[in-house]
Amino acid sequence: MRGAGDFDECYRATSRRLLSYAYALTGDWTQAQDIVQEAYLKAWRQWGRLSHYEDVEAWLRLIVHRQATDSWRRLVRWRRAMPLLTAPTQTAPPDESAVLVSQALAELPLTHRRVLALHYLFDLPVAQIAVDTGVPSSTVTTWLARGRAALSTALIAIEVSGK
């Protein structure tokens, strides 16, 4: 979303894509909702400055990515500290294909998940993804190709195993 005049308008225009992005990064619907809610809370608090940004959605994507990464780090630290506890159950949306894709995405490195989500959920071109991620366009192209191949393999494995 280029520019933004009013917070409500920005929210309506971006919230679905950001939620899909967060879900693609985390694989957990509830966690994705929490992350997106926190991102919009940060945006609301800084709206006076953000409303003048050329691309508010890019800022929100960056916040979502950082929060997903931070959540992952906290989970890893927590699991190391509490090895006898089982992982919390995940609440997934009712759409079975989204669950299968999420399971397959979880098998991919975070860099591949991120570029696939930015490219396919936000329809961002390779050049914009390169700017957002701070890597060369050739790296984004490589990550997309490897991510698609790994996603395909993971989906086939899930289908064969009957998960």
Domain ranges of the chain: 1-91, 93-163
The domains spanning 1-91 and 93-163 adopt the same CATH topology? no
What's the CATH class of domain 93-163? Answer: mainly alpha
* Token reading at 121: 């959920």
Q: What is the pLDDT of residues 21-50, one digit of tens each?
A: 999 888 889 999 999 999 999 999 999 999
Q: What is the pLDDT of residues 65-104, one digit of tens each?
A: 998 887 756 555 555 555 555 555 565 444 677 778 888 8
Give me Rg for the CA atoms of the chain. 17
Pick the CATH number of 1-91 from 3.60.21, 1.10.3470, 1.10.1740, 1.10.3720: 1.10.1740
How far is the C-alpha of 152 from the C-alpha of 162, rounded, in Å? 15
Q: What angle do CA 13, 19, 20 make, to 5 degrees?
A: 105
Average pLDDT of span 111-129: 91
